[in-house]
Each structure stands twice: as C-alpha cells, then as structure tokens.
Structure 1
C-alpha cells in the first residue's frame, strides 16, 4: 500500500475512502488480511484523472 500511496500521491486513508465511495480501482484480495491492485487498472485510473494546467 505504501508504494501505491507514493505512486499516486494519496494517503492510505484517502485510498480507502475512494475505494468505499467507488471512485478508485477495486482491490484484489490476496489473502485473509491483504489486498493488491491491478497495475493496469491503476494506470488507467491515473490516465483518466483531469489534468491540472502547469502540472505534469
């Protein structure tokens, strides 16, 4: 989760909020207490975000 948080610039708490609200990628259950995310889905989610002028 730390790597994902750093990659997309959102805190772990915000990622969970967005999962619950349906505005983030659906997590994949990896084990009883662990989740993961499909990298292609995360990349598609990032690509779909609106661009802010002057930011890359």
Structure 2
C-alpha cells in the first residue's frame, strides 16, 4: 500500500521513480522525482505502484 510521500515505481519492471502526492480511493496522484521540463502530476491505480528499495 502506498502512502503520500512514498517513492514508487509503476509495476515491477518500472524504471522511473515517482513521489505519491495524493491518494483518493483506488487512484494516486504521482509526480516524477526528476526535475525535468514537462514534469506534471498525473493519476495511476494504487494497485500498480511498487515501493522503491532504499
């Protein structure tokens, strides 16, 4: 289960790391931890999130 502030990947083979910004029901708002142009929050199913190690 993901919590606000957690760093996660999408799926077990995900490469990019995201921060959980908000959780509402079975959806989470996530945002890339990388400060890149075009960075914006978006939603994904909580069930698809995998915690990062470390």
Q: TM-score, normalised by structure 1?
A: 0.26
Q: Which has the higher contact order (CA 8 A, sep 6+)?
A: 2
The structure with the greater share of residues assigned to strand is 2
Q: TM-score, normalised by structure 2?
A: 0.26
